[in-house]
Each structure stands twice: as structure tokens, then as C-alpha cells.
Amino acid sequence: MRFFSTMIASILGSLVAFGLLIFIGALIVTAFVASSISSVQAPVASESVLTLRLSGPVEEYGISDPTYELFDLPQPQSLAQIKGALEKAADDDRIKAVWLKPQGVIAGWSTLAEIRQSLLEFKKSGKPVVASASGDLAMRESDYFLATAADSIYAAPGAFFEFNGLSLSVLFYKGLLDKLNIEPTVLRVGTYKGAVEPYTREDLSRENRTQLEAILENWNRLLTSTTAEARGMSEEHITNLMQTGALLTTDDAHEADLLDGLLSEERVRTHLQKWVESDGRLRTTSLSSYTSAVSNGSSGQSDAIGVMIASGTIVSGNSRDLNGYLGAATLEKSMKSFRENDNVKAVVLRIDSPGGSAAASEIMWQAVKETSKEKPVVVSMGDMAASGGYWLATAGDTILASPHTLTGSIGVFGMHFSLGQMMETKLGVTYDHVSTSDYADMFSGMRPLRDAERALFERSLGQIYTAFLERVAESRGMTVDAVDAIGQGRIWTGEAALHAGLVDQLGGLDDAVEIAAEMAGLEKDQYRIRRLPRPRTLMDRYLDLFMVRIRSFFESPIEAQLRAEARLLEEVVRLHATPIARFPLDFVDFD
């Protein structure tokens, strides 16, 4: 019987392996065909309209992957692609207008503001921008914010229109930990360092509520002032519309003069034809198609500005793009590449990170600092450069932030989880040990910390916090006490961080590139941009997902269930006994 079971397992394994080879080979052939099609892609037709269908997450940087077009899949959108396409389209005589279709855009307000500014820059060419939305859910606040850059805004009649203010939601796990008999011990340095709150509280602390209200006020002021200016209304009137909750349909929005008309997508298409000399049909080109058509690779310049995209939660090792991690080893490798490349004259470090491991943050700080000794390094903050992300930023020569960036959060925390009671009461697993000292099993996770052990952990966190303060003090030309006063884990918007002395000036990525070029002595248009790390293609993403599916294929139902229930425990293990310099909390929703 064992012989037959072994033989069957071997046959199945061989079949799966053979199937994997065929699948991977098919993907490679498909990618090759898609690339070939892209290389001979027809040029953009004259009298065309550039269509920007913006929905879902907006990444920092991406490439135009023709494989998405081949499979008729939505191309992942990136800030770099959107800005680059609009800049080229403004000078492209073939493009007569932009048709903006924002629907369910997921991005921070810093990114949204950069996209909107690019739309306004495009309009300086004299070409119109028309915004529209169709479907049951027409627009949310973030969508409408982008639409206010347009000359006209339309939406389908009878659709949902969410314009009722902004909120931030946070999930708390204390009740779940209590049910599982997991006992957390919380140690933090910084009054506002609230990353531990989801594990220790059932609601926001007063300090966290205060700083979150300040953040929302910054974003709300941006939304109300922008809307008021675009629609020729007072900010008080816009605020009143949001607070009364009167706008929940596109009909309400049209009556309130926030929309220029209630039109279906087909009628908007007809409306756009008046700006182009068409033969009865509207010629449109998508963001990905236009990017592919006008992409010319290298600009022909030998000199370059290196742009390092540092996005995700900071961890040791390599970046795991699929899960949103920023690996110290990946950043080190990229910085070394820029440092050793004689053609790269300066580096822009684009940070969009909530922080993470304090040790990994220091490793990356060293890599950036080593680069800054040889070449200018300018830091550009995206939606977030907080805690460990700000630690990393202090290695640069100059720091820029958007007025709406979330930064600061200078503080450290550590958590110890005791799983012993859970193991015994839920699984019937008990624990015993032998050791050479009383402290040997303090981080085993099977028992609570003793008073002496807690004091040791607190001392180590205090040392890391002091190192953090010293890094900031050296970078900003401040005393350690002055940094401590604005530290304590407090979150600052970019606007407030400028007044606090944490950043040098307000600006976006383009401003940072210009400053880096100036510091390197490069004239405008006399350099190219070289970005690292390489963006992930559709094949990269699909192979990762496919391998996850293959692994789940061999799991029993019990294993699959345990894996699903182990997600919280995985987070517990990640935080357990590790000094963390991370943004105070994870937002569930930005609207």
C-alpha cells in the first residue's frame, strides 16, 4: 500500500512540475509577443483625446507593460506615468484634450495634489480637460478633488455622489487578543507613539485623537479651498454642504452646482467631439497606450539623476513588493549602484513609508549617508515619510515634503506578547524549559515579562530613541532636547513639519529633481532620470500569486483554515520583542 501511495504521489508531483513548466513557458512567450507588439505599436492618431481612467491604488512608479493590454487587464497606474503622460501630451499636437475619469482612486492627499497640479499644468497648453464618472458610484471626495481641475465635470444621473466630509478609521484588536488569551506588554518612548494602541485599547487615546484631527483638518482644508476656488463658491458654503450631508446623489451635486451636467458616458463622448476634428467618431488613447507610444527610453543624455523609490514598511533583507515591504538590502544595493555609476551625478530619495524596523532603518540610513558623501542626495517625501521613514530621510542633504505629507512620528515602541495561556487553554499545549540564566527565555513568548526583564527592554528602547533624536538633531542643526520636544511620536503634516524645522521646503518630486540637478551643476534638459528598483511586471505579480495558489492546492482544509486564522499571530510575531520605529497606526479608510 505504501508503494502505491508513494508512486501516485510521485506521478502527481511530476505532472504538477510539468504543468508549471508549460505555464511559465507560456507566460514567457506571451510576454515576448506582447513586447513585440508594443515595439511596432501604431503611433497616436491625430485629433486624439488622452483618456485617464484613474481607479484603485496609485503606485509611486511603474512601467507600461504591454502584457496587460494583451490580456485586456487594467494597467496598474503610477504617479510617474500619469505626470509624464500629461507633460508630453501638453506639447503633443496629436492630443487635443484630456478625458479624466476618476472613480475609486486610492491615494494619499499628497499624491492626489501632485496629479491635480499636473492636470492644471496641462491646461496651460490651452487644451481642455473634461472630467466625468459613470456607474452606480459616481464619485468620492478624492475623485471629485481631481475632477475640480477640469474645465467641466459631468456624472451619470441618479448615481451615488459622496461629498460628506473626511474621516479616518482604525481597527482595534484588544478584544480579540483577550478572547485568545494573548497578553501584550507594551513599551513605548513617546507620548504620541500610538502604534501599540490597536493591541492595548478599544478606542483612540486623547493624544492620538488630537493629532489625527489635525491631519484631517489639513486635508479637509485642501479639499474645501480647492473646491471653492474651482466652483466659484465660498469655503464656508462648501463646508456647509459637507456637514449637512445633503449631497448623496449626482442630482443633489448638480443642483448644488458641483457638477456641470448629468450626462451618460456616451453623451460626454459626443460633447468631447466639439474639440476635435473627427469623422463622426472620437479617437481616444489610454494612459498605458499613450505611455508606450511616446516612450523613448533614454533621452540620449549621459548624465543622470538617480531616483530611488523607497516605498513600503521597512524590514531587513530584500523588498517584498507584493506585500508592500521596503527591504534594507534592496535599498543598499540601489544606493551602491547609484554611488558607483559615474553617470549618476545626484540622487533623489523618494520616500513613501510608515517606517518599520529600527535596525533596518539605521542600515538604510548608513547606505544613504555613504552616498551623500560622494553625491548630492535630495529627499522627496510622498504621502508618508514617518518614524523609520523620517529616520531614513535625515541622511539626505535637503528634505522636501508636500504640505499634506504625513511625517515626523519620532519615537520607538516595542511589544512583548505572552502566548502561553493561549497555547494551553486553546490548544492544550503546555510549556517548560531549562536554561543557563534567568533571562534566557524572556523573549520566548510563552510567559509575561518579569519586572527586571521589562526594565532591560525599556532601556534598549530608550537607547534607540536617543540615537533617533541624535540623528535628527545632527541633520536639522537642532539640540537633542529641541528634537525631543517635537518628537514623542507626534505626527506632523508637511506644512507643520516645515514650521517645526523637520523639512527644508515644501515641494513635490519634480522640485526635488530640479534641486538635485542644480546641486550637481546640471542644466535643465541636460540629464535623464534613472529609477530604481525595477518595477514589477505582470509576469512577476502573476507568478507570485500562482505560487501562492500552488501552495494552497496542497493544503488540507484544516491547514487552510489555520493559515487564515494565523494572520494575527503572524503580525504578533513580527512585532514581538522587536524595536519598531513605525507610524502610529494603520488607517482602514481615508474618506
Supply the mean pLDDT for the chain. Answer: 82
DSSP state of 182: -
Q: What is the pLDDT of residue 32?
A: 47
Indicate which residues carry an active-site annotation. Answer: 193, 387
Q: What sign does the dihedral 155-161-163-169 (CA atoms) show? A: negative
Q: What are phi and psi of 379, to 5 degrees?
A: -95, 130
Task: Give me 178's grid cell.
Answer: 483577550
Q: What is the pLDDT of residue 247?
A: 77
pLDDT band, residue 64 (cuts 50/70/90): low
The residues near 163 (Cβ < 8 Å, ≥ 6 apart) are 139, 141, 144, 241, 242, 247, 253, 258
The residues near 450 (Cβ < 8 Å, ≥ 6 apart) are 438, 442
Q: How many CB atoms lie within 10 A of CB 164?
A: 17
Please tell me the number of Cα atoms within 13 Å of 382 on its side-chain side: 25
pLDDT band, residue 141 (cuts 50/70/90): very high
Q: What is the pLDDT of residue 589?
A: 42
Task: Give me 70's grid cell.
Answer: 494583451
CA dihedral 442, 448, 454, 457 (to 10 degrees): 50
Contact status, residue 308 vs residue 338, Cβ threshold 8 Å: yes
Question: Each residue of 94-131: pLDDT tens digit?
Answer: 999 999 999 989 999 999 999 999 999 999 999 999 99
The full 3-state SS of 44-76, as one line of letters, equals: CCCCEEEEEEEEEEEECCCCCCHHHHHCCCCCC
Task: Give me 288's grid cell.
Answer: 498605458
Let me know if 412 is exposed, middle or buried by CB neighbors in 10 A (0-12, 13-18, 19+): buried
DSSP 494-529: HHHHHHHTSSSEE--HHHHHHHHHHHTTPPTTS-EE
For residue 202, the SS3 value is coil
Name beta bridge partners: 506. Answer: 401
pLDDT band, residue 278 (cuts 50/70/90): low
Higher pLDDT, 57 or 275: 57
- pLDDT exceeds cutoff 80 at 53: yes
Contact status, residue 233 vs residue 515, Cβ threshold 8 Å: no
Q: 148-157, 269-278, 294-303, 376-385: which has the minimum mean pLDDT?
A: 294-303
Q: Alpha-carbon distance 294 to 301, whole Å? A: 17
Q: What does the pLDDT average to over 371-375?
A: 96
Q: 60-69, 156-165, 259-268, 511-520: which has the minimum mean pLDDT?
A: 60-69
Higher pLDDT, 447 or 90: 90
pLDDT band, residue 362 (cuts 50/70/90): very high
Q: What is the pLDDT of residue 323?
A: 60
Q: What does the pLDDT average to over 160-184?
A: 87
Q: What is the pLDDT of residue 3?
A: 46
Residue 452 identity (one-letter amino acid): A
Radius of gyration of the chain (CA): 26
Answering whether pTM is above 0.85, one says: no
Question: Cα dist. 155→99, 134, 237, 460, 491 in Å?
Answer: 13, 6, 22, 57, 37
Q: What is the pLDDT of residue 127?
A: 95
Task: Give me 272's grid cell.
Answer: 468631447
Q: What is the pLDDT of residue 588?
A: 42
Higher pLDDT, 390 or 457: 390
Element (H, E) at 478: none
Q: Alpha-carbon distance 196 to 177, whole Å? A: 13
With CA atoms as reference, report the closest residue to 287 among 149, 102, 81.
Answer: 81
The residues near 388 (Cβ < 8 Å, ≥ 6 apart) are 314, 353, 354, 355, 356, 357, 358, 360, 361, 580, 581, 582
pLDDT band, residue 344 (cuts 50/70/90): very high
Q: Alpha-carbon distance 426 to 591, whole Å? A: 38
pLDDT band, residue 186 (cuts 50/70/90): confident
Please tell me the number of Cα atoms within 13 Å of 408 on its side-chain side: 29
Q: 177-186, 232-241, 460-469: which has the minimum mean pLDDT?
A: 177-186
Q: Alpha-carbon distance 315 to 321, whole Å? A: 12
For residue 493, the SS3 value is strand
Name beta bridge partners: 184. Answer: 417
Q: b/e map of 317-350 (b: 16 or more CB within 10 Å)?
A: ebbebeeebbbbbbbbebbeebbeeeebbbbbbb
- pLDDT exceeds cutoff 90 at 2: no
DSSP 90-133: HT-TTEEEEEEEEEEEE--HHHHHHHHHHHHHHHTTT--EEEEE
Percent share of the chain, pLDDT over 70 = 78
Q: 178-187, 304-313, 331-340, 542-551: which has the minimum mean pLDDT?
A: 542-551
Higher pLDDT, 453 or 483: 483
Q: What is the pLDDT of residue 34?
A: 45
